[in-house]
Amino acid sequence: MFFDLSDQQKMIRSKARDFAEREVGPSAEQRDEEERFDRGLFDRMGELGLTGIPWPERYGGIGADYVSYVMAVEELSRVCASTGVMLSVHTSLVGWCLYTYGTEEQKQKYLEPIAQGKKLGAYSLTESSSGSDAKAMRTTATRDGSGWYILNGNKIFVTNGGEAEIYLVFAITDTQQRGKGYSAFIIEKGTEGFAFGKKEKKLGIRASPTLELIFDNCRVSEENLLGEEGEGFKIAMSALDGGRSGIAAQALGIAQGTLDATIAFAKERKEFGNLIGLRQAIAFKIADMANKIEAARLLTYQAAWRESIGVPYGKEAAFAKLFSSDTAVQVTIEALQIFGECGYTKAYSVERCMRDAKVTQIYEGTNEIQRLVISRMVLTD
């Protein structure tokens, strides 16, 4: 086992950290307060090469690995979890599907602007009647016999919704085949019959837009079918494997940012005439937080490393997502306790981090689904 980072990985982490601290962090509180998505941050990420980290240069990426990518999500999430998830969905779900299943024409047309940060991506699987049970979706895509599909239905909880230009949409193409009757489509913003519905008001990641998508006789060319007809469920599930490493990295960043703030607070705050960091009750809490974060980091980097070297990583990504998200929730709750009343106010970022952490146990597969995925794998190993 070799734990050193390569020069390229160090360079990408340092670029992401510098950008996060200088350009993302300063506005994080205000964007959260105003529930405001800042497109300018995405544009800057494109200029810095952060929107196409794992994709080859011929498709507009920088040809680095998935470890570099999860480190970038971690660094962004250390200061702003909304910005972290924007990059995670854009890369792990949308870029990955286009790179893995797209035709050469689809890669040129859609992956390149995604990788260059000229277009933002969104992934839509969930519906009001299908969350964890993704197969229960109702959106249909029916062939019209002249090279087009007609989509009807609604998707909900779509991260980057409304702001993204490119949407991956999963729909039923054959109602007779439950497992194999789903297909994936690339749909551009502005396509006739495709509209945006309700924007969710959320507890956390409030600067990340979460929208409903509405398809009302939306005509999509068969050129925009991603993969084979009937391959949609496999595409959706395999994308979520890598997506879970991205969410693990987001949770890791939230936890690390919270720990950094807690250590700084413990070194300046005095109670009973002494710094609280010198009290064992606080110091041991901080030790436990640091310990869990280190374990979460190892699991997250391991899943990304396995993806980079081309060995199976679904189980490891589920391990990472389950452990990192639980860590983020535990760390942020414990940190708020250490900050006391100060943490309960908006004077420090810890209350925002606590609100942001919760969703990492929920989206891209609840932690109950992660246990289902893990148990199925370990019981059949």
DSSP per-residue letters across 306-375:
HHHHTS--HHHHHHHHHHHHHHHHHHHHHHHHHHTHHHHSTTSTHHHHHHHHHGGGTSSS-HHHHHHHHH
Using CB under 6 A as the binding rule, whether residue 189 contacts ligand CAA is answered as no
Task: State how far the alpha carbon of 97 is from the alpha carbons of 82, 166, 241, 340, in Å.
Answer: 22, 12, 11, 44
In terms of CB distance, is 212 or 334 closer to ligand CAA? Answer: 212
Using CB under 6 A as the binding rule, whether residue 371 contacts ligand CAA is answered as no
In terms of CB distance, is 212 or 241 closer to ligand CAA? Answer: 241
Task: State how far the alpha carbon of 127 is from the alpha carbons of 124, 135, 157, 359, 364, in Å.
Answer: 8, 10, 8, 17, 13
In terms of CB distance, is 240 or 289 closer to ligand CAA? Answer: 240
- Residue among 246, 209, 251 nearest 356 (CA): 251
Interface with ligand CAA in residues 281-300 (CB under 6 A)? none
- Contact between residue 196 and residue 179 where contact means Cβ atoms under 8 Å apart: no
Among 158, 164, 226, 251, binds ligand CAA (CB under 6 A): 158
Using CB under 6 A as the binding rule, whether residue 307 contacts ligand CAA is answered as no
Among 234, 269, 279, 355, binds ligand CAA (CB under 6 A): 234
Among 241, 316, 326, 351, binds ligand CAA (CB under 6 A): 241
Q: How far is the CB of 161 from ligand CAA (least distance, A)?
A: 8
Interface with ligand CAA in residues 319-338 (CB under 6 A)? none
Using CB under 6 A, which of the segments 51-59, 60-68, 75-83, 152-160 binds ligand CAA?
Answer: 152-160
Helices (H) and strands (E) in the chain, counts: 14, 10
Q: What are phi and psi of 49, to 5 degrees?
A: 85, 10
Q: What single-letter amino acid sits at 82?
A: S
Interface with ligand CAA in residues 341-370 (CB under 6 A)? 363-365, 369
- Contact between residue 140 and residue 152 where contact means Cβ atoms under 8 Å apart: yes
In terms of CB distance, is 182 or 348 closer to ligand CAA? Answer: 182
Among 159, 183, 324, 349, binds ligand CAA (CB under 6 A): 159
Using CB under 6 A, which of the segments 9-17, 38-46, 51-59, 235-243 binds ligand CAA?
Answer: 235-243
- Non-local (6+) Cβ contacts of 131 within 8 A are none
Using CB under 6 A, which of the segments 27-35, 130-138, 259-267, 348-356 binds ligand CAA?
Answer: 130-138
CA atoms within 13 A on the CB side of 230: 7
Among 46, 209, 246, 314, binds ligand CAA (CB under 6 A): 314
Task: State how far the alpha carbon of 192 is from the alpha carbons of 165, 215, 240, in Å.
Answer: 14, 9, 28
- Residue among 93, 242, 244, 61 nearest 167 (CA): 93
Among 37, 96, 99, 233, binds ligand CAA (CB under 6 A): 233
**Which residues are marked as active site?**
364
Using CB under 6 A as the binding rule, whether residue 9 contacts ligand CAA is answered as no
Interface with ligand CAA in residues 56-95 (CB under 6 A)? 89
- CB atoms near residue 161 (< 10 Å): 27
SS3 68: helix
By CB under 6 A, name the binding residues for ligand CAA. 89, 123, 125-126, 132-135, 157-159, 179, 233-234, 237-238, 240-241, 314, 363-365, 369, 372-373
